[in-house]
Structure 1
Amino acid sequence: MTGPLRPEFHEGQVLAAADLAATVAYARAAAVRHARLAHEWGIADGLALTTENRTDPASGARFVEVSVQAGLAVDGTGREIVVPAPVVLSEADFEAVNGADGPTSEPYPVFLTAADRAQAASGPASCAGSAGPARVEESFQILFRRLGDERLVADQQPPAVNAAPAAPPVPWLVLLGFVQWTGGHFTAAVPEARNVGVRFAGVRADTVSARSGSLSLRTRPLPGEGEPALVLSGSDTPKLVYGLYKGTGDVEPLMTVEPNGNLTIAGSFSGRISAGSVLATSGSATDGMVLPLPAGVTPEEVADGRVSLHVYVTPRIPPSESGLTVPAEATVDGDRRVRCRLRSYDPGAGPAVTERPGAVDFLVLATVAATSGGG
């Protein structure tokens, strides 16, 4: 098995076209391997589908002109696809693929793929005869596909590790978004449909380091007011801060972890109950209702014995101008379901004793016993 071949030259060597081509091929191969294996493929910058309102002069119908903005994508073969300027989507190209479909509001996928275009030689012919192309334009093509073809993106397989830069047998598809089509025109453009969305380029790394001493993680390329951020600072006072960007570009801390492990939060805290603590909830419930668990306690923790419940119920006796009402039953079963029955006797209404569902005030305490180590 042969690894990558690096061209070498020496004085007096006669350079053939293959030697010069090998120099270019070696650099291209190294670049695509890095892009394919050290990064995740997808849109690196730009390439958004944008719309401009238009009116059909014949029918007066409103529609939109859809354009692909300039940008850069890296496909799954490691190849860069550069769109140097905005491109207006062709309605004729769309009709050629999907024009036979009936009316539908479902969005159609739009793809970008790489395309090599040989450029004719502009200089004098060679001594050996006719000159071949001296340049190859690394261009692109915008493709329309059928409804549902966006799922093809996930099925694409990258080439082998040592594969040389070459056009794949099947064009690698980079999803740009979706367009809607009504009455012979585009009517909208959206980035996601049928639970499939645009894929953006990423990086594969086990270590990410910052040279400035502060590493920020945010959800947008540029900080925006109200957007979340995670900042790891290694300056004089190392700490980890989660917060929201302010209009000034600074991060308003919502959670801070100090070097000594102290945790400071701006809001409330909820989660699993810790050893030795008690959580509680209270309220009123009627006959047949299931009592709630305190916040932070799960049914699984109660079922396997990690958390013990202590339930207290007090029947609510409604006021009455005549007669007598007493609780016949006020209990809670193993499923925390309330059983409350009230028994009443009213001499003025007759000798019969009646029984009806009632309500209780409840208190549920959840406890975890402290360990011998205090943890």
Structure 2
Amino acid sequence: MTGPLRPAFHEGQVLAAADLSATVAHARGVAARHARHLHEWGIAEGLELVTVPRTDPLTNARYVEVRVSAGLAVDGTGREVVVAEPVVLRESDFASVNGADQPTDEPYPVFLTALDRDAAQSSAFAGACGATAGSTRVEESYQVLFGRLGDERLVADQQPPEVGAAPADPSTRWLVLLGYVRWTEGHFTGVASTAREVGLRYAGVRADTVAARAGALTLRTSPTVQEGQPAVVLSGGDPPSLVFGLYQGSGSVAPLMTVAANGNLTIAGSFSGRTSGGSVLVQTGTATDGMLLPLPAGVTPQQVADGRVVLHVQLTPRPPLTHSATALHSPVEATVDGERRVRCRVRLFDPVAAPGKVVEQPGAVDFLILAAVAATNGGG
């Protein structure tokens, strides 16, 4: 199989229509293969479903007019799909596809696909010198399609063309999901960006290396800088650093975590995570009879149950609160069972206020828990 053919010309050559078409086709092929293999297909700009409130003049029912905003998508064949200006979705088109369905609150998918159309041509030279009249322009247009419930899953099943395939109309349309519309009693009533766990797909990039020319590389979660949104900044300055933080109103990034060139880690908050093997975690406090003792932070009941963490518990009975200065007390029980439930009883005797009377009541203990993590499993 030969590779892509690039047209070549020489002096005195008579140029046929096929020669000029081949020049255009070669450029289109280069652009399509670049988009197809160096980028992830999806929405690149705009193409949002926008609603405008409306009222039905016959029934006074409230509904919405749905528009697709202007924008650009790149489909899985590497072809650009340009929507140059907002387009209003026609309710009659939706009804022809889904009008026979039973009423439902489920949203219906809306797709965008590329479509070629013969553009209107100038008649100035049409038919001159015996030339065959025909369109000299092709409009690289689009079509908005309504799908049936569940058709959004077809998007993931689409297969890109072969590596060297030219950008041509595929036998099956390539669908770009724009979102979902809700339909009630003959009108659109709302839109959604996700339904049945299928959301929009946005264009991306495929690369093993991303190099910054200005000496710093920034990753953020939205196209524009927004205060309070996260960002990661890799800086090659003096000294170099890796910073994770949040955007401030000034557009700078307030560091929450910084990794310096020497490996030092600086964080603005607290540090928590999986317990390392061989470590000992501590929890202290006071508990009364019947309470469950808490586990140290980072330790789960499952880790204790399967032996990955061993608990050592020490209980110290606390003197009971009494209103008598002559009362005597003695602990009867200060234990903890296998469920970490405290059992504490204390005996009171006041030889002055109530001679000969002994009272037994619930008590309280100070506890110390040492959680030893087995050195062979990393505490996970």
If the TM-score is normalised by the length of the shorter chain, which range does it land in? 0.7 to 0.9
For 1:175-221, what per-residue CA distance to the aligned partner results, in whole angstroms no more than 9, with x for missing partners? 00111111211111111111111110000011111111111100010
Tell me what 2:354 maps to.
none
Structure 1's unaligned 5+ residue stretches are: 347-352
Tell me what 1:246 maps to.
248
| Aligned pairs for 1:47-126 within 5 A | 47-122=47-122, 123-125=125-127
For 1:105-161, what per-residue CA distance to the aligned partner results, in whole angstroms no more than 9, with x for missing partners? 111111100000012442322545532221110000000111111111111111111
- The alpha-carbon distance between structure 1 residues 236 and 183, as it changes in their structure 2 partners (threshold 3 A), is same
Tell me what 1:365 maps to.
370
The answer as to 2:179 corresponding to 1:174 is no
Q: Distance in 1 between matches of 2:157 and 2:77?
A: 14
Q: Distance in 2 between matches of 1:224 and 1:67?
A: 26
Q: Distance in 2 between matches of 1:263 and 1:184?
A: 60
1:343 shift after superposition = 8.4
Residue of 185, 198, 201 corresponding to 1:199: 201
Q: Distance in 1 between matches of 2:312 and 2:129?
A: 98
Tell me what 2:31 maps to.
31
Q: Distance in 2 between matches of 1:161 and 1:289?
A: 67
1:44 shift after superposition = 0.2
1:285 shift after superposition = 5.7
- The alpha-carbon distance between structure 1 residues 317 and 95, as it changes in their structure 2 partners (threshold 3 A), is farther
For 1:322-346, what per-residue CA distance to the aligned partner results, in whole angstroms no more than 9, with x for missing partners? 998744461443xx54363748799
Tell me what 2:17 maps to.
17
- Whether the aligned pair in 2 keeps the contact of 1:120 and 1:132 (CA below 8 Å) is no
Between stretches 73-82 and 101-110, larger displacement belongs to 101-110
- Whether the aligned pair in 2 keeps the contact of 1:216 and 1:229 (CA below 8 Å) is yes
CA RMSD, 1 decimal = 3.3
| Aligned pairs for 1:185-196 within 5 A | 185-196=187-198
- The alpha-carbon distance between structure 1 residues 288 and 324, as it changes in their structure 2 partners (threshold 3 A), is closer
Between stretches 100-109 and 210-219, larger displacement belongs to 100-109
| Aligned pairs for 1:202-221 within 5 A | 202-221=204-223
Tell me what 2:148 maps to.
146
Q: Distance in 2 between matches of 1:356 and 1:135?
A: 96
Paired residues in the alignment total: 368
- The alpha-carbon distance between structure 1 residues 356 and 133, as it changes in their structure 2 partners (threshold 3 A), is farther
Q: Distance in 1 between matches of 2:362 and 2:10?
A: 101
Letter in 1 for 2:343: C
- The alpha-carbon distance between structure 1 residues 355 and 154, as it changes in their structure 2 partners (threshold 3 A), is farther
- The alpha-carbon distance between structure 1 residues 305 and 341, as it changes in their structure 2 partners (threshold 3 A), is closer
The answer as to 2:226 corresponding to 1:227 is no
Q: Distance in 2 between matches of 1:126 and 1:312?
A: 104
- Whether the aligned pair in 2 keeps the contact of 1:315 and 1:340 (CA below 8 Å) is no
Structure 2's unaligned 5+ residue stretches are: 350-357
Identity of aligned residues (%): 66
The answer as to 2:332 corresponding to 1:340 is no
- Whether the aligned pair in 1 keeps the contact of 2:118 and 2:139 (CA below 8 Å) is yes
Tell me what 2:353 maps to.
none
Letter in 2 for 1:100: A
1:237 shift after superposition = 2.2
- When normalised by structure 2's length, the TM-score is 0.85
- Whether the aligned pair in 2 keeps the contact of 1:315 and 1:327 (CA below 8 Å) is no
- The alpha-carbon distance between structure 1 residues 9 and 301, as it changes in their structure 2 partners (threshold 3 A), is farther
Q: Distance in 1 between matches of 2:359 and 2:157?
A: 70
1:37 shift after superposition = 0.6
